Amino acid sequence: MESEAPIHVLMVSFPGQGHVNPLLRLAKFLAAKGFFVTFSTADTVGKLMRTANDISHKQVIPVGDGFLKFDFFDDGGGVTNTDGSRRTLSDFSAQVEHFGRQYVCQVIKDHAETHRPISCIINNPFVPWVSDVAADHGIPSAVLWVQSAASFTAYYSYFNKLVSFPSDADPYLDVQLASVVLKYNEVPDFLHPFSPYQVLGTVILEQFRNLSKPFCVLVDSFEELESDYINYLSKLVNIKPIGPLFKSPTATDTSKIRGDFLKSDDCIEWLNSRAEASVVYISFGSIVCPPQEQVTEIAHGLLDSQVSFLWVLKPPAKHHGLPPYVLPEGFLEETKEKGKVVQWSPQEKVLGHGSVACFVTHCGWNSSMEGVALGVPMLTFPAWGDQVTNAKFLVDVYGVAIKLGYGHAEKKLVSRDEVKKRLLEATVGPKAEELKQNAFKWKKAAEAAVAPNGSSARNLDAFLKDIKEGGAVRVNEI
């Protein structure tokens, strides 16, 4: 670092695992490159992060040429009201905004007169007010979009009414999005009239209302994977694909700094004992809780197919008010030689392990990107939001997955026979081979994108330059 006082970047994350992970990966990259990064999110998840990982509130950690500081803000109880009842999604989001705005204003004020004023603010989706606060204070800001560029295109097109989307009057309408036609059930479902979570669509669309405020939109994807969407968006927004962030060159050195909300169970030792490419890894991410009947069908599918498996099966979060999952009688005993059920895994390590044959995924964008970049064939089991769109791309565009499940809005159960059939199809035979070859191709492309002079590496360098040279303000004019 040339100057004595490192440039100070404030990062504000929505309190969700799928939001914290990519933003923290970017935070570690910036710190390693010599920045002082304050990483903040709501304390409800801050508490979980401190319990599960070796980090503490206001701790400043030297990282490469710079520093990373964790700083958590009070969010008035997170998803829980004072009487213990659950807040609605819109109340929760309003609560985070209420406390978060105060926090960001205070941090800006506290640092304004010091040797370490905030030079740039970066947020992820669901907290669009961060861009407003930054603009009000004349501080350049950027957004790290944590979904695909294709999903960004869908939200952008919807918000700006560039194409027609399904509506109450025409719910089964197809949507042409650049080179791909999305069926009604492949459109990010927060935008669909059948979705029970349309409120999340409203929160996401808020970021499109103030899209002129951030000087740039970073995407945790890479150009080669989504060239049609990135080319299209580049004419409209200053968009920079910089992913896969978990593969960035500084990731290995900083891998011990983690933001998991749950402590990982030990999976690696068990995977070490398994044969090469023999294990089916199953995970529905941090939020999705499949219905009990679906869990039962999956369990029987595993028994019937006799595959080896590592299954992340979290009990439903307390605020869902659902009972813990019950596995079929004798399931654990019967599968003890072949399988392992855990509550949380070190997913990147699991997917990178040679014993993993395929990944049954809910298709969250982080999981999708991790699977793609680690060259793992997948079986898609989306629930909602962009997951249904990611599933479509994994199967039909990237060619790395087999379709298995349906979005929750479709209320369809996948039978044990179907689970068995698809698991076998993805692990042995010609389809498995085809998926493997495509997955390998994308793994190589992802590695090239983050290697020195690769497409994502160049975009990251340009972004660093923008922050350092104040170019951030200039590009606002795009």
Q: Which of 201, 364, 375, 454 binds ligand UDP (CB under 6 A)?
A: 364
- The alpha helices in 235-378, defined as continuous H runs, are 268-272, 292-305, 331-334, 347-351, 365-373
Which span sits near ligand UDP by CB under 6 A: 150-158, 344-352, 409-417, 435-443? Answer: 344-352
What's the DSSP call for residue 408?
G
Nearer Cβ to ligand UDP, position 119 or 387? 387
- The nearest distance, CB 144 to ligand UDP, in angstroms, is 13
Kindly give, in sequence order, each residue whose CB lies less than 8 Å from that of residue 35, ignoring residues fewer than 6 positions away: 6, 7, 8, 9, 66, 67, 467
> Of the two residues 103 and 284, which places its CB atom closer to ligand UDP in the complex?
284
Residue 17 near ligand UDP by CB under 6 A? yes
Which residue, 72 or 261, has its beta carbon nearer to ligand UDP? 261
Q: What is the 3-state secondary structure (H, E, C) of 99-163?
A: HHHHHHHHHHHHHHCCCCCEEEEEECCCCCHHHHHHHHCCCCEEEEECCCHHHHHHHHHHHCCCC
Nearer to ligand UDP, 23 or 31 (CB): 23
Closest residue to ligand UDP, based on beta-carbon distance: 18
207 lines the binding site for ligand UDP (CB under 6 A):
no
Q: Contacts with ligand UDP in 234-263 (CB under 6 A)? A: 260
Spatial contact of 449 and 243, defined as CB atoms under 8 Å apart:
yes
Judged by CB under 6 A, which of 10, 12, 21, 259 binds ligand UDP? 21
Residues shown for the chain:
478
CA dist 45 and 80 (Å) reads: 12
Active-site choice (19, 192, 353, 408): 19
Q: How far is the CB of 428 from ligand UDP (least distance, A)?
A: 26
Check residue 13 for interaction with ligand UDP (CB under 6 A): no
Give the separation between CA 119 and CA 114, rounded to whole angstroms. 12
Nearer to ligand UDP, 6 or 244 (CB): 244
Looking at the DSSP assignment, which residues form a beta bridge with residue 39? 11, 70
- We find the least distance from the C-beta atom of residue 200 to ligand UDP, in angstroms, to be 12
- Binding mask 279-308 vs ligand UDP (x if CB under 6 A, - otherwise)? ----x-xxxx--------------------
Q: Residues in contact with ligand UDP, total (CB under 6 A)?
A: 20
Smallest separation (angstroms) from ligand UDP to the CB of 264? 7
366 binding ligand UDP? (CB under 6 A): yes
Rounded CA separation 156/236 (Å): 10
For this structure, is 300 an active site residue? no
Q: Which of residues 369-408 bind ligand UDP (CB under 6 A)?
A: 370
Sheet holding 239-241: strands in order across? 60-63, 66-73, 36-42, 8-12, 118-123, 141-145, 216-219, 239-241
Candidates 11, 12, 14, 18; binder of ligand UDP (CB under 6 A) is 18
- The pattern of x and - marking residues 60 through 99 that bind ligand UDP according to CB under 6 A reads ----------------------------------------
Q: Are 395 and 422 in contact (CB under 8 A)?
A: no
Return the closest-CA partner of residue 32 out of 55, 76, 1.
1
d(CA 150, CA 130): 23
CA–CA dist 440, 442 (Å, integer)? 5
Residue range at the interface with ligand UDP (CB under 6 A); choices 1-9, 42-50, 345-353, 468-476: 345-353
Cis peptide before 244, with omega less than 30 degrees from 0? Answer: yes
Binding region for ligand UDP (CB under 6 A) out of 44-52, 88-96, 319-327, 341-349: 341-349
Grouping H, G, I as helix, E, B as strand and the rest as coil, residue 475 is helix
Task: Report how far residue 385's alpha carbon sits from residue 365's, in angstroms, rounded to the nearest whole number.
Answer: 10
Choosing from 344, 384, 398, 406, the residue that interacts with ligand UDP (CB under 6 A) is 344
Closer residue to ligand UDP (CB): 296 or 367: 367
In whole angstroms, the minimum distance from the beta carbon of 19 to ligand UDP comes to 7
Residue 53 engages ligand UDP in binding (rule: CB under 6 A): no
Query: Roughly what angle, to the nearest 10 degrees, separates helices 416-427 and 430-450?
Result: 70
Q: Toward ligand UDP, which CB reaches closer, 19 or 274?
A: 19
CB-based contact 379:360 (threshold 8 Å): yes
Pairing state between β 180-182 and 216-219 = unpaired
Q: Which C-beta is closer to ligand UDP: that of 160 or that of 343?
A: 343
Helices (H) and strands (E) in the chain, counts: 17, 16
Closest distance of CB 53 from ligand UDP, Å: 11
Q: Which residues lie near ligand UDP (CB under 6 A)? A: 16-18, 21, 260, 283, 285-288, 312, 344-345, 347-348, 364-367, 370
Catalytic residues: 19
